């Protein structure tokens, strides 16, 4: 288990509850510390998104997601399909852990999680030593930001922008239900 590097500016900002914009597989994402309720509520306010909708967590590896997922409730017959799809642009709705924060899960008994192959996301999650909240960098009803400049148009001086290349996917991650494999979002 890696520890936080106290002189890492990202880690300092992450621990301070700042909101980040960073490149993902297809669009710029907004993220923060999933365990910091104030940071998550600030992110939701910036996006004008209802807390009851829930949010996606993105991680470097499945182990980082275990505090939020009830791993024992993932059906044995579904595990191969879920885990063999990662790392990659598929988000799965998995049973939430008993103590998963409501500001992440909304009104659902499931939590949306993804293990990313994007180098920037992997790096940030390793440095934070946990997953990040991941939602598209835009306000409700507007197209997602495709560049650091577009992030600044949506959120001038409100987020820390981590510039970098997008991953080449043409649409945000597909969302599938871990209970039955049903496609919830297929952009």
β-strands 110-115, 56-59: how paired? parallel
Q: Is the whole model's pTM more than 0.85, yes or no?
A: yes
Count CB atoms within 10 A of the CB of residue 126.
Answer: 14
Count CB atoms within 10 A of the CB of residue 35.
Answer: 15
> How far apart are the C-alpha atoms of 87 and 108, rounded to whole Å?
24
All domains in the chain, ordered by first residue: 9-185 (3.90.870.10)
Per-residue pLDDT of the chain (187 residues; tens, 9 = 90+): 445 556 788 988 998 999 999 999 999 999 999 999 999 999 999 999 999 999 999 999 999 999 999 999 999 999 999 999 999 989 999 999 999 999 999 999 999 999 999 999 999 999 999 999 999 999 988 999 999 999 999 999 999 999 999 998 888 778 999 999 899 877 6
């Amino acid at each position: 288990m890696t520890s936080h590097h106290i002189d890492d500016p990202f880690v300092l900002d992450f621990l301070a509850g700042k909101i980040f914009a960073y490149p993902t597989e297809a669009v710029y994402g907004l993220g923060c510390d999933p365990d910091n309720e104030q940071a998550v509520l600030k992110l939701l306010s910036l996006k004008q998104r209802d807390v009851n909708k829930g949010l996606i967590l993105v991680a470097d590896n499945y182990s980082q997601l275990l505090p939020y997922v009830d791993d024992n409730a993932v059906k044995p017959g579904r595990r191969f399909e879920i885990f063999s799809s990662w790392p990659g642009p598929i988000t799965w709705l998995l049973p939430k852990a008993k103590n998963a924060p409501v500001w992440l899960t909304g009104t659902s008994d499931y939590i949306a999680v993804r293990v990313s192959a994007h180098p920037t996301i992997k790096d940030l999650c390793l440095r934070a030593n946990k997953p990040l909240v991941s939602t598209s960098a835009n306000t409700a009803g507007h197209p997602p930001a495709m560049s650091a400049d577009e992030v600044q148009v949506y959120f001038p001086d409100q987020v820390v922008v981590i510039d970098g290349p997008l991953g080449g996917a043409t649409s945000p991650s597909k969302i599938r239900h871990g209970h039955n494999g049903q496609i919830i979002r297929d952009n």
